[in-house]
């Protein structure tokens, strides 16, 4: 009996549903009749965009054949998709064209306000989701009540983060402003932010991470993030000319808050950087993708995730943890917190003060009363 195997794959940085089988003209011709199913020379199989909807289409299309369809590798994806589908049951599937055009205009308006690309993408995304919700409910978009209902159904019930809820409120307020509604007309209460301490990697853990990395480009990128205390957006926006090896400084241009600043250029990092530059020869940006342009945030996250796994570090560290670790280790070495504030580009010393709560040196000075019992 002919057998078709369905599993997931990556095609041009997108998740796809791969349709694999031993070469067979009958199956091939049958699949070619199905809309949106394409052939990949790279994957050597047919594929379609990965979604539960497309999986159902494939199943429905193949059910009248006598072929065996093996989807055992998709069980985890199916379960997660069903949960997400249940969450999104209060949203319409497609945004009507008139609202798509409105979102495009909103996006241009946000860019004209000189907001960062990440902020614009977030605001447009949350607004699109909100529009899907309001249209399904068939209510006025510009109503505080429907905003509150959305917060409950889409954010509170699925236990999405307070940070996401605040992003949503900010995005919606901007959309309302774009449509001519003043801020004081929108009475939406913001939840208080959770006060979480940053995840800090010890110096030994940092060493372990770098010892596991064999790819020179990956090592250079993570070394830069830690040695200069950069945000990932700042690192991937760096141009070659921003590295000042004579003054041993890095020029960070128009970072968060539209501010320029200088931070440290490590002499040990310069050695890694020179090796990297000779090997990869970047043209404009210090770190570039395979096809040119800026290196992607997603690729950088994967580099750290793989390094943490190989170093057997179980902490839920992110790229930002390298920045946190840089600041904490400086503080532990006795660096004045005002200098750390400047290096990190914090507007307020209150933001930098959080590192005083996680330094080993300050905590070790406290004598534990339990030790006096024995």
CA 47/CA 372 separation, integer angstroms? 67
Whether residue 355 lies in the annotated active site: yes
- Asked if 323 is an active-site residue, the reply is yes
Q: Which residue has the higher pLDDT, 81 or 310?
A: 310
Rounded CA-CA distance 48/38 in Å is: 6
pTM of the model: 0.60
- Whether 231 is a known active-site residue: answer yes
Q: Tell me the β-bridge partners of 263.
A: 250
Query: Is residue 265 very low, low, confident or very high in pLDDT (cuts 50, 70, 90)?
Result: very high
Domain ranges of the chain: 3-85, 97-185, 203-363
Please tell me the distance from the alpha carbon of residue 235 to that of residue 254, in angstroms, as a whole number: 12
Two tokens at 139?
A: 């209510």
Give the end-to-end CA distance of the chain in Å, rounded to a whole number: 74
- Greater model confidence, 157 or 98: 98
The hierarchical CATH code for the domain 203-363 is 1.10.443.10
Is 251 a catalytic site residue? no
Catalytic-labelled residue, pool 87, 137, 173, 320: 320
- Predicted confidence (pLDDT) at residue 150 exceeds the cutoff of 60: yes
Lowest-confidence segment of 139-153, 214-228, 291-305 by average pLDDT: 139-153
Q: Catalytic residue at 329?
A: no
* Banded model confidence at residue 10, pLDDT cuts 50, 70, 90: confident
pLDDT at site 91: 63
- Convert the pLDDT of each residue in 312-368 to its tens digit: 999 999 999 999 999 999 888 888 888 988 889 888 888 888 887 767 666 667 777
- Which residue in 293, 300, 360 sits closest to 325, CA to CA? 360
| Residue in 132, 218, 219, 231 annotated catalytic | 231
Give the number of other CB atoms < 10 A from CB of residue 351: 12
Give the mean pLDDT of 146-166: 79
Q: 97-185 adopts what CATH topology? A: DNA polymerase; domain 1 (1.10.150)
User: Which of 132, 218, 323, 324 is the catalytic position?
Assistant: 323
The residue whose two tokens read 């057998």 is 3
């Amino acid at each position: 009996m002919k057998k078709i195997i369905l599993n997931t794959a990556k095609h041009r940085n997108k998740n796809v549903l791969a349709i694999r089988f031993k070469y067979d003209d009958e199956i091939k011709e049958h699949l070619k009749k199905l809309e949106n199913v394409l052939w990949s020379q790279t994957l050597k199989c047919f594929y379609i965009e990965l979604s539960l909807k497309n999986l159902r289409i494939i199943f429905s299309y193949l059910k009248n054949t006598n072929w065996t369809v093996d989807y055992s590798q998709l069980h985890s994806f199916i379960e997660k998709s069903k949960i997400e589908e249940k969450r999104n049951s209060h949203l319409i599937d497609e945004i009507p064209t008139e609202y798509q055009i409105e979102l495009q205009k909103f996006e241009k308006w946000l860019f004209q306000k000189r907001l960062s690309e990440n902020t614009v993408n977030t605001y447009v995304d949350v607004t699109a989701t909100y529009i899907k919700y309001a249209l399904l409910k068939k209510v006025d978009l510009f109503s505080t009540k429907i905003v509150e209902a959305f917060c409950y159904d889409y954010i509170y019930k699925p236990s999405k983060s307070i940070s996401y809820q605040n992003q949503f409120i900010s995005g919606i307020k901007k959309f309302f402003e774009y449509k001519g509604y003043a801020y004081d007309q929108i009475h939406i209460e913001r939840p208080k932010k959770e006060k979480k301490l940053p995840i800090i990697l010890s110096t030994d853990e940092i060493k372990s991470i770098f010892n596991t990395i064999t790819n020179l480009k990956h090592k250079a990128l993570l070394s830069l993030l830690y040695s200069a205390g950069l945000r990932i957006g700042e690192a991937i926006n760096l141009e070659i000319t921003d590295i000042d090896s004579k003054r041993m400084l890095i020029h960070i241009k128009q970072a968060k808050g539209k501010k320029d600043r200088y931070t440290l250029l490590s002499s040990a990092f310069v050695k890694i950087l020179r090796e990297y530059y000779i090997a990869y020869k970047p043209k404009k940006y210090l770190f570039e993708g395979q096809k040119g342009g800026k290196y992607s945030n997603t690729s950088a996250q994967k580099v750290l995730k793989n390094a943490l796994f190989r170093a057997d570090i179980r902490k839920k560290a992110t790229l930002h943890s390298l920045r946190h670790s840089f600041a904490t280790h400086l503080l532990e070495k006795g660096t004045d917190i005002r200098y750390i504030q400047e290096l990190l580009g914090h507007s307020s010393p209150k933001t930098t003060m959080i590192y005083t709560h996680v330094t080993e040196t300050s905590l070790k000075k406290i004598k534990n009363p339990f030790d006096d019992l024995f």
